[in-house]
């Protein structure tokens, strides 16, 4: 028995879709084994995830709450991946965006919502973009590895953040006559800076609108603008791009401004829409999960919506199974990992044809 691997010349669209779906199904099967090892029936678990995520009103709205930041992050990542630049640090760019929103909200606590909310999003976008630019410049000028620099900048900002909430930004609490710094969290921002939500849900609709605009926007940008054309050329053949006079620095920097900026918006939404203050547990991994959904969805608004909606549901359903089946929190992360693993493996299938011969 011998395995033969050959490069595919053409990838039929339907086959690509089938491989994507197949990857997720295989991930479900692989994780099922783990559930089984924990002594629970995988079918029950999946049914529970599905029901809790999509089968109840609360579940459905919570799924959308999770979908919004994922959609913002993954739309930007899908675009930047097209240029062949690997931004693995969206989590950091998201965090910078949230921190910028905090600074705006704390600096102008008495400003009106009409002024505050757009400013937070603008400054959050700028901050996320600013955090995304250095890796692009370093890669273009000094050929610094993009995976390493984007990921390391996440750690830089993460520890800056930890320092701030344990020190300068820590809330002062008052008990009777005493004022003291208690737990490591910041003050809650003024209500003017809170994002409006739909009815009784936690869906902060400004972010919902922004996230859908982002998913459509990156598609239009890539396919209908000259800057998008430059990104496709740079991603597919950097040498031909250079010969055609397309600047690698400018193209990749612009892609990182968009990608970092959209992650920053996700951070603003998460902060001003849900949490309203920083705690050490502010981050929930949207920046990393977004890598998977960007890969699954591609620069395609429908694909991104479906992938992020399903992943949002998985995050919601995952919380319930922790409680219902007393499974550790790591199981959901493992599921994410399994999906990424199978999606990447599936991508190999798309690019190569594998045959078995005897």
Partner 1 sequence: MASEATAVASEPRETDLLVKMVSIVKRFPGVLANDHVNFELRPGEVHALLGENGAGKTTLMNILYGIYYPDGGEIYVRGRRVEIRSPRDAMSLGIGMVHQHFMLVDRHTVAENIALGYAESLLNPLKEIKERLREFAEKYGLKVDPDAYIWQLSAGEQQRVEIIKALYHGADILILDEPTSVLTPQETRELFKIIKRMRDEGKGIIFITHKLDEVFEVADRVTVMRRGKVVGTLKASETTKEELARMMVGREVLFRLEKERVSRGKPVLEVENLHALNDRGLPAVRGVSFRVHEGEIFGIAGVAGNGQRELAEVVVGLRKATAGRVLIDGVDVTNKSPRFIASRGVAHIPEERLRHGIVPNLSVAENLILKDYYKEPYRRGLLLDHSKVIEDAERLINKFDIVTPSPLTPAKLLSGGNIQRLICARELHKEPRLIVAAHPTYGLDVGATEYIRRILLEQRKRGAAVLLISEDLEEVLQLSDRVGVMFNGEIVGIVRPEEASIEEIGLMMAGARRLAREEMAS
Residues contributing to the site for partner 1 (CB under 8 A): 2, 4, 6, 9-10, 224-230, 232-233, 236-237, 239-245, 355, 357
Nearest approach in angstroms of CB 223 to partner 1 is 8
Nearer to partner 1, 168 or 245 (CB): 245
Nearest approach in angstroms of CB 336 to partner 1 is 29
Q: Which two tokens stand for residue 3?
A: 């395995």
Nearest approach in angstroms of CB 4 to partner 1 is 6
Three-class DSSP category at 354: strand
Nearest approach in angstroms of CB 290 to partner 1 is 24
Nearer to partner 1, 177 or 226 (CB): 226
Q: How many residues in the chain?
A: 358
Nearer to partner 1, 163 or 353 (CB): 353
CA distance 350 to 344: 10
Query: What is the Cα 155 distance to its own chain's centre?
Result: 16
195: nearest Cα among 304, 96, 119 = 119
Q: Tell me if 131 sits within 8 A of 260, measured CB to CB.
A: yes
327's CB contacts (< 8 A; 6+ apart) are 35, 38, 40, 45, 321
351's CB contacts (< 8 A; 6+ apart) are 7, 8, 11
Nearer to partner 1, 29 or 240 (CB): 240
Nearest approach in angstroms of CB 254 to partner 1 is 12
Nearer to partner 1, 60 or 299 (CB): 299
């Amino acid at each position: 028995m011998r395995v033969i691997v050959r490069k595919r010349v053409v990838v039929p669209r339907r086959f690509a879709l089938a491989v994507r779906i197949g990857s997720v199904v295989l991930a479900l099967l692989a994780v099922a084994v783990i559930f089984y090892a924990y002594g629970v029936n995988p079918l029950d678990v999946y049914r529970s995830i599905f029901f809790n995520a999509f089968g109840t009103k609360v579940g459905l709205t919570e799924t959308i709450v999770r979908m919004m930041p994922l959609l913002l992050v993954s739309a930007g990542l899908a675009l930047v991946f097209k240029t062949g630049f690997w931004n693995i640090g969206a989590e950091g760019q998201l965090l910078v965006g949230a921190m910028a929103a905090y600074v705006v909200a704390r600096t102008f606590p008495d400003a009106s919502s009409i002024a505050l909310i757009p400013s937070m999003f603008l400054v959050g976008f700028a901050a996320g973009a600013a955090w995304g630019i250095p890796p692009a410049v370093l890669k273009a000028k000094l050929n610094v590895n993009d995976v390493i620099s984007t990921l390391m900048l996440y750690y830089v900002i993460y520890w800056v953040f930890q320092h701030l909430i344990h020190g300068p930004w820590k809330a002062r609490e008052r008990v009777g006559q005493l004022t003291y710094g208690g737990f490591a969290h910041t003050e809650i921002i003024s209500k003017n800076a809170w994002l409006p939500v739909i009815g009784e849900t936690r869906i902060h609709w400004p972010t919902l609108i922004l996230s859908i605009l982002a998913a459509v926007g990156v598609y239009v940008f890539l396919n209908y603008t000259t800057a998008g054309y430059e990104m496709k050329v740079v991603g597919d053949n950097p040498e031909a791009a250079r010969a055609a006079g397309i600047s690698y620095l400018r193209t990749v920097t612009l892609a990182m401004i968009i990608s970092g900026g959209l992650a920053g918006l996700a951070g603003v939404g998460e902060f001003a829409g849900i949490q309203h203050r920083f705690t050490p547990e502010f981050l929930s991994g949207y920046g990393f999960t977004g890598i998977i959904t960007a890969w699954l969805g591609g620069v395609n608004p429908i694909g991104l919506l479906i992938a992020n909606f399903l992943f949002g549901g998985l995050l919601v359903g995952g919380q319930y199974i922790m409680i219902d089946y007393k499974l550790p929190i790591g199981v959901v992360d493992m599921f994410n990992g399994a999906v990424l693993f199978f999606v990447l493996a599936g991508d190999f299938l798309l690019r190569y044809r594998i045959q078995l011969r005897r």
